[in-house]
Amino acid sequence: MGHTKDIAHQIQEQTGGTLFEIKPAVLYSEDYDTTERQGRTETREGYRPMLAEQVTDLYSYDTILLGTPNWFNTMAPPVATFLADNDFAGKKIALFCTNGGGGLGHIVADIRTLCKDSEILDSLDIYEDGGSGAKAKISDWLKKNDLA
């Protein structure tokens, strides 16, 4: 666990961008099996947890680099809350997704549903922590989206 956060830090190192961690008000269990059961239920039911804090200056950004783990072929519920609670009209969203083998699932389609008036850029699919090739893969993705 923590792969998405680690990749976000690597992206921040390459871009100099601002980090904002999307966290639920009630944190998930440290126990993997407990969190997996809860996550399965939440994604199946479309649950959107309250967030620990809200971003206050989203209006000042034109492009959002959005990270999420793949939870049962979609984004983690706190990320869905973040997208539903904020106005992304006219913004560009570049998704990066960490996963244990499920790839992007239907995350891009789900983001398009929640952010109808946004431009969704090419997405980055990272298996677990990306291994030794993560830095190069991130760099290529940033260049492809004109974010380098």
Quick one: which of 107, 97, 91 has its CA closest to 67? Answer: 97
- Residue 1: what pLDDT? 64
- Residue 3: what pLDDT? 95
The domain locations on the chain are: 3-144
The CATH class given to the 3-144 domain equals alpha beta
pLDDT in tens, 51-90: 999 999 999 999 999 999 999 999 999 999 999 999 999 9
- Ranges of residues in the chain whose predicted pLDDT is under 70: 1
Task: Return all residues near 105 (Cβ < 8 A) that are at least 6 apart.
Answer: 70, 72, 73, 74, 97, 99
- Residue 148: what pLDDT? 86
How many helical (H) and strand (E) elements, i.e. helices and strands, does the chain have? Answer: 5, 5
What does residue 143 show for φ and ψ, rounded to 5 degrees? -65, -45
